[in-house]
Amino acid sequence: MTAPDRNGLRWGILATGGIAHAFAADLRTAGLDLVAVGSRSQESADAFAARFDIPRAHGSYEALTADPEVDIVYVATPHPMHHAAARLALENGKHVLVEKAFTLTRAEAQDLADLGGQKGLLVMEAMWTRYLPHMLRLHEILAAGTLGEIRAVSADHTQLLPSDPAHRLNALELGGGALLDLGVYPISFVHDVLGAPVTVQASARLIETGADADIATVMTHEGGAISTTLSSSRAAGANTAVVLGTEARIELERVWYSPTVLRVIAPDGAILEEFDGRTDGSGRQYQAIAAERFVADGSLDSDRLPVAESVAIMGLMDRIRAQIGVRYPTETA
């Protein structure tokens, strides 16, 4: 891999769907070096490159990941293809930022973590929420002890999405279901605030394809704190989150996992702090800036979401799926 001609990294985007468009726009907003795109068709790659003024367009993922002008690959495929695409990039010596959910299973996640470690490359999950300004402020507040003892965390992610059984969101062979597409946000948030759960209870409503359309979890964590999450692909709700402490609580406005407003509220309802974390674009540029920093400082791992935690979260998702009876056709163990 040749050295970049600037302090940052040269980005390539793998796949050209909606999430890739949002990421590319945010890279441009942040002034980062987006140099290449790869798609399964040259026509799609060319159209994407024209839209975002990208100099190099490749008609295959193999060509993108082999491009010597690319230092880091953002994997923007649907999650069933994350493992294979990220592995391809790593085998070609590229750092990777992999869309969430990180993979389909813990086994796939561990394989990527192991390969990145062997090759000395950054492997990072694109859980962009963790890098947003209001989330960084949330952790400062927690570290200061402002909330007292944390007793509970709750978060929801509910949307009215297509109900067509053949749609990728509903097809098990395409990794369908609310858990991996939507539930990954509140599950990761709870893991971030409270750590890994001690006990897990999950309930879900399955559709005719066997995928989960509605799913709720109740988990206990070290010290006795309780977390609850709710995700649905069949109904649009408030999409808010709360961290409840004995001395105060934090409320995150809708949509809590995107740039939004954070409030610290006393038990009597008085607002102790209001932090406005809204920003230009969707906010995905913050994770890209962080990824560049982890490569530059030689840590090759995220301080906000280490790859080992991404692996653990995928293990938790496996555990939840086992409870609700959801299994992907590609699973072998």
Cβ-Cβ contacts under 8 Å for 134 (sequence gap 6 or more)? 252, 259, 260, 261, 262, 275, 277
Residues of the chain with pLDDT > 90, as a percent, come to: 95
244 residue type, one letter: L
Average pLDDT, the chain: 96
Length of the chain: 333
Please report which confidence band the pLDDT of residue 8 belongs to, taking 50, 70 and 90 as the band edges: confident
pLDDT for 171 beyond 60: yes
Residue 241: asked if its preceding bond is cis (omega within 30°), the reply is no
Taking a C-beta distance cutoff of 8 angstroms, is the pair 21, 13 a contact?
Answer: no
Q: Please report, rounded to a whole number, the percentage of residues in the chain having pLDDT higher than 70.
A: 97
Question: pLDDT by residue (tens digit) across 106-157?
Answer: 999 999 999 999 999 999 999 999 999 999 999 999 999 999 999 999 999 9
Flag whether pLDDT at 3 surpasses 90.
no
**What is the pTM assigned to this prediction?**
0.95
- Alpha carbons within 13 A on the beta-carbon side of 109: 24
- Amino acid, single-letter form, for residue 322: A
User: Domains plus CATH for the chain?
Assistant: 10-127+284-300 (3.40.50.720), 133-278+314-324 (3.30.360.10)
**What residue has token string 């990527």?**
112
Query: Residue 280: its pLDDT value, please?
Result: 86
Q: Tokens standing for 49? A: 């490159």
Residue range 264-285: average pLDDT?
96
